[in-house]
Structure formats: C-alpha cells, structure tokens
C-alpha cells in the first residue's frame, strides 16, 4: 500500500511524512478511525514509506525490493495480527495450518479492499457465527517474533488490526514490548473503536486520529479502485457516511436500483394509476427481502431529505442531477406537512416486511396511501 493509492486524507499523510523527516516516529502508534475508513491503509502505507529505500516527494518509490514485497503484503519483516476464530480439525489439522490459512486469506482480503470492516473479514474468512478475537497465543507469538532481527527491511513492523478484540490477558502479555520494543521495531495498531481499546494499550501508544473519508473521497475510491461507474459511485458515496465497505455492500445489492424503482412507484401514485400500482406490487413481491427493505429505506431517506430541504438544510444539491430533478419535482408535488405522514407509511411498511407480511399487500397499501397523500389538501 502506498500513500498515493489512498484517495484524500492528505493532511494526515503530510503529518506522517513530517514525523519521518523530523525523526519523530513513535515506535507504537494507534491509528484510530471508523469502520470502512482509511486507518489501516494509512498504517500500511506509512510503514512502507518508512522502509522504502528510495522515498521521494512524500511517497514510497514503488519499485525497490521493500516496495515490491509490501505491495503484495508478503514482506518477511511485516507481521500481521488480526481477529481470528478457532477452526475445526476438519478445516485445519493444527495451529500452524490454521495460522497459514488465515494469513493467506488475509493477504487476498487486503488486496481486495484495504478499507475493511470486521464483518467483511469474518465473512471472507468463513467464520460463520464464530467469535473473532486476538488470542493470548497470538500475543505470545508476537513476543517471540519481536525478539528476532529484521531480515531485509530497516524496520520490522507489527500491524495489529482491531486491538479492541484482544482480551486483557492477551494485551497484558504485550505491554512490555509496547513500552520498550527492541531497536528498529514498530507497532502500528489500528482501531475502529477507540473507546473500546484497553487503557493500558492507550497509554502506551501515540494516537493518530483518522477522520472518515469525505463523500468526494469515497466517490473517488469507488471509481478509481473499484471501477464503479461515476454516476453510481456518486450515489453510493452519498449514503455511505464515509465508509467504503458500506458503499461497496450497498453497491453489491444488485437490485439496488432503488432510485428508478422509487421514481416509478411514486409516479404511478401521483397519477393515481392503479393498474400500474398493482403491476408494481407484483414486481416488488419478486424482489429479495433485502431488496424490498432497501427500497423502503431508500424511500425513508428521500423523505428525510425533503424534510431537510424544506428547512433549508439539504443534501439535495449534491445529488446526481437526474435524482435531484426528480426529488425537486417530488418536493413540489407534496405539501411539507404531509411528509411526516409519508415517512410513517414507509416506516410501517418496513416493520411489516420484517414480520413477513405479504409483500404485495404491503406495497399496494403503500401505493394507495401515497395516492391519498399526494391528493390531500
Ligand atoms: Zn521503495
């Protein structure tokens, strides 16, 4: 991972680069940022920057021996610690095999998305419902690895993703090396929940606060790193709260053409077109439950936006043009005082979908109530 591969967060990159220039790199740092944010990617890029043999202009060269290996997360001096679960005998015959399976999964996982969430990792590593954590054995292994000299890089680096999933015994085992690590050894911890990190760890690390990605940054990440088409990327970024993982999973719901579906639905209701409302309900029933819920949630978001719009505090102006035009029309078609009633209709429908009430009936009922609300004086 290189700084140049991370969209945005420039002010934090500069701060990190400056710490190298001033020779003020703390040996134990805790990168703190929310789920789906840039904290892990920054920690990886920072280590790479420190170790790069030919750094230039605030960036690693991308070509030297260190860069070549860190690109694939296979540098022998980089150690990864992350939450895992205990595999069955059938999955892995012994601890060593288990460890190597997790590590090779982890490398593939990181290559796919350096802005991960724990649930994405649990899915990817096939945890099913098994609890993931960082065990005391893991801490003991770190202590063993710490005592060995670096092979190739100037600095040996230990990356720990989500220290909040380490219990007290596991963290106590580490306190001494965190406090006094051997020469040329770095510990980069990455948390998604600073308040859950044990105080003993907090007091031994220097915190690097990583703000969430802006909407624009998420949009660029989706376009440049995940090859999402620009209009879709813009739209996903709008709902992602700076969380790349969330944007990706929203995008994965293939049926998530919520905007188009919602637009048609509301048009039929506005026109009082009952034939098409019935047809719409037939289609709605065929969607997966996730997609059914996602359309209703989208509708709720829209109504919330319109409420904000009437109070002069809206995101509307930042929406893709097609969507904005439709929503402005929508805003004119309904009286502000009826928006809350509309919201309640969608809220109730969501509850009914949860309770497995017939989706066709629910959506037809929503349609009819919308007809009434559009006509209400
Ligand atoms: Zn390099």
| Cα–ligand 1 centroid distance for 212 (angstroms) | 27
User: Is the same domain home to 125 and 227?
Assistant: no
- The tens place of each residue's pLDDT in the chain, 377 residues long, gives 899 999 889 999 999 999 999 999 999 999 999 999 999 999 999 999 999 999 988 899 999 999 998 888 888 899 999 999 999 999 988 988 999 999 999 999 998 899 999 989 998 899 887 889 999 998 998 988 888 877 888 899 999 999 999 988 899 989 989 998 888 999 999 999 999 999 999 999 999 999 999 999 999 999 988 888 888 888 889 888 899 998 988 887 644 478 888 989 999 999 999 999 999 999 999 888 878 888 898 899 889 888 888 877 666 666 667 778 888 888 888 888 899 999 999 999 999 998 889 999 999 999 999 999 999 88
What pLDDT was estimated at residue 254?
45
User: Is the same domain home to 195 and 318?
Assistant: no
User: Is the same domain home to 38 and 166?
Assistant: yes
Alpha-carbon distances, residue 220 vs 114, 119, 224, 229, 232 (angstroms): 15, 23, 6, 10, 11
| Cα–ligand 1 centroid distance for 62 (angstroms) | 5
| Cα–ligand 1 centroid distance for 74 (angstroms) | 14
| Cα–ligand 1 centroid distance for 55 (angstroms) | 6
d(CA 172, CA 183): 21
d(CA 331, CA 72): 50
| Cα–ligand 1 centroid distance for 188 (angstroms) | 19
User: Is the same domain home to 172 and 231?
Assistant: no
Write the DSSP string, 242-262.
Answer: T-HHHHHHHHH-TT--HHHHH
| Cα–ligand 1 centroid distance for 27 (angstroms) | 21
Helix/strand/coil for 151 = coil
| Cα–ligand 1 centroid distance for 47 (angstroms) | 11
User: Is the same domain home to 174 and 106?
Assistant: yes
What angle in degrees, to the nearest 10, is found between the helix axes of 230-239 and 215-226?
140
User: Is the same domain home to 154 and 23?
Assistant: yes
| Cα–ligand 1 centroid distance for 115 (angstroms) | 22
| Cα–ligand 1 centroid distance for 187 (angstroms) | 20
| Cα–ligand 1 centroid distance for 118 (angstroms) | 30
| Cα–ligand 1 centroid distance for 45 (angstroms) | 11
Tell me the CATH number at 336: 1.20.272
| Cα–ligand 1 centroid distance for 53 (angstroms) | 5
| Cα–ligand 1 centroid distance for 207 (angstroms) | 26
| Cα–ligand 1 centroid distance for 46 (angstroms) | 12
| Cα–ligand 1 centroid distance for 68 (angstroms) | 7
User: Is the same domain home to 158 and 278?
Assistant: no
| Cα–ligand 1 centroid distance for 54 (angstroms) | 5
Domain count for the chain, please give it: 3
| Cα–ligand 1 centroid distance for 73 (angstroms) | 14
| Cα–ligand 1 centroid distance for 369 (angstroms) | 62
8 A C-beta contact, residue 121 and residue 18 = no
User: Is the same domain home to 143 and 19?
Assistant: yes
Structural domain ending residue among the three candidates 211, 236, 267: 211
| Cα–ligand 1 centroid distance for 109 (angstroms) | 23
Q: Which helix (H) or strand (E) holds 290?
A: helix 289-310
8 A C-beta contact, residue 238 and residue 319 = yes
Sheet holding 28-32, edge to edge: 78-81, 156-161, 185-191, 28-32, 206-209
Tell me the CATH number at 56: 3.40.50.300
| Cα–ligand 1 centroid distance for 58 (angstroms) | 12
User: Is the same domain home to 193 and 109?
Assistant: yes
| Cα–ligand 1 centroid distance for 59 (angstroms) | 9
User: Is the same domain home to 55 and 12?
Assistant: yes
User: Is the same domain home to 248 and 165?
Assistant: no
| Cα–ligand 1 centroid distance for 71 (angstroms) | 10
| Cα–ligand 1 centroid distance for 7 (angstroms) | 19
User: Is the same domain home to 178 and 32?
Assistant: yes
| Cα–ligand 1 centroid distance for 110 (angstroms) | 19
The domain of 40 spans 3-211
């Amino acid at each position: 991972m290189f700084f140049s591969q991370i969209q945005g967060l420039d002010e934090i990159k500069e701060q990190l680069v400056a710490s190298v220039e001033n020779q003020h790199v703390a040996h134990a740092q805790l990168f703190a940022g929310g789920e789906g944010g840039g904290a892990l990617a920054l920690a990886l890029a920072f280590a790479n920057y420190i170790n790069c043999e030919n750094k230039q202009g605030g960036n690693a060269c991308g070509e030297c021996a260190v860069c070549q290996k860190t690109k694939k997360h296979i540098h022998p001096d980089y150690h990864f610690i992350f939450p895992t679960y205990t595999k069955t005998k059938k999955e892995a015959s012994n601890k060593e095999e288990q460890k190597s399976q997790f590590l090779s999964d982890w490398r593939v996982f990181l290559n796919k998305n350096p802005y991960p969430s724990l649930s994405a990792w649990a899915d990817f590593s096939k945890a099913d419902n098994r609890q993931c954590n960082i065990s005391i054995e893991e801490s003991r292994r770190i202590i063993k690895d710490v005592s060995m000299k670096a092979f190739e890089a100037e600095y040996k680096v230990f990356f720990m993703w989500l220290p909040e999933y380490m219990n007290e015994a596991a963290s106590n085992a580490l306190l001494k090396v965190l406090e006094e690590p051997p020469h040329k050894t770095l510990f980069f911890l990455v948390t998604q929940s600073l308040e859950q990190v044990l105080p003993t760890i907090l007091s031994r690390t220097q915190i690097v606060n990583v703000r969430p990605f802006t909407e624009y940054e998420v949009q660029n990440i989706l376009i440049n790193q995940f090859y999402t088409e620009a209009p879709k990327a813009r739209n996903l970024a709008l709902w992602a709260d700076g969380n790349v993982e969330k944007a990706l999973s929203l995008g994965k719901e293939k049926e998530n053409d919520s905007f188009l579906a919602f637009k048609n639905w509301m048009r039929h209701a506005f026109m009082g077109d009952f034939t098409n409302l019935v047809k719409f309900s037939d289609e709605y029933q065929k969607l997966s439950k996730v997609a059914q819920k996602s359309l209703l949630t989208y509708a709720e978001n829209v109504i919330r936006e319109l409420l904000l719009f009437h109070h002069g505090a809206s995101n509307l102006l930042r929406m893709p043009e097609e969507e904005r035009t439709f929503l402005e029309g929508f805003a004119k078609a309904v009286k502000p005082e009826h928006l809350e009633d509309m919201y309640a209709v969608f809220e109730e429908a969501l509850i009914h979908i949860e309770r497995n009430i017939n989706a066709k009936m629910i959506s037809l009922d929503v349609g009819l109530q919308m007809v009434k609300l559009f006509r209400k004086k």
